[in-house]
Amino acid sequence: MGASPLPSSVERLIEALSRLPGVGPRTAERLAFHLLRTPIVDAKALAGAITTMRDTTRPCVECGHVADQERCWICRDEGRDAGLLCVVEEALDLVAIERTGAYRGRYHVLNGTLSPMAGIGPGQLRMRELFERVAAATAAGTPIREVIIATNPSPEGDVTLLYLQERLGDSVAAVTSMARGLPFGADLQYADAVTILRSLEERRGVE
């Protein structure tokens, strides 16, 4: 290996950037050079934003959402329906559901899905916390009525759903999953054949 043509500080940044998801070595180089030429205040602001974010946030002890206190703002909100729990893979999925403004229950963030190839089993996800939460609510006389499992429709998301469904089945009155099919507001004629096929298979009775 010959010596790098770049100072080691630049190499280090390129290496750090290339470890980010979706960033390859070429993109990392471009980003590093962009930061090299950008006004120093902007570069320092970026570095500061990363540090501040990490220093001031932690996972909510209850639901696992990103919080700036021990419990996140949703878990502290007394107006939320404590009998309704929505299980999501990532905090970003929670953000997407919150954006609707329609959901008034609480959440549980798993931090991923079951994936043996990635070495992720139930123990690597926040599943024990989920079962404990459900049991604690029942013990306190305020049982959770419904758990909505909102994992993604990937094989891993679906398997996580099946697993949770089996584990939660006896302790919760209702375990539900998100509906799948035609995108809302889209015309049938623009949907691809697979979507229409699956929607037909999962059709339901009209009240």
* Residues of the shown chain interacting with other proteins in the complex, contacts defined by CB under 8 A: 21-22, 24-27, 114-117, 121-122, 154-156, 158-163, 165-166, 177-180, 192-195, 197-198, 200-203
How far apart are CB 179 and other proteins at their closest, in Å?
A: 6
How far apart are CB 99 and other proteins at their closest, in Å?
A: 21
Q: At what angle do helices 8-18 and 25-37 cross, to 10 degrees?
A: 130
Give CA separation, 80 vs 63, 67, 104, in Å.
13, 17, 5
Q: Which of residues 80 and 198 has its CB atom nearest to other proteins in the complex?
A: 198
Instruction: Look up residue 92 and give its amino acid.
Output: L
Tokens 């949770």 -> residue: 164
Closest CA relative to residue 112, chosen from 148, 85, 86, 88: 88
How far apart are CB 24 and other proteins at their closest, in Å?
A: 4
Q: Which of residues 27 and 111 has its CB atom nearest to other proteins in the complex?
A: 27
Q: Which of residues 72 and 130 has its CB atom nearest to other proteins in the complex?
A: 130
Query: Do 191 and 184 form a contact (C-beta atoms < 8 A)?
Result: no
How far apart are CB 164 and other proteins at their closest, in Å?
A: 9
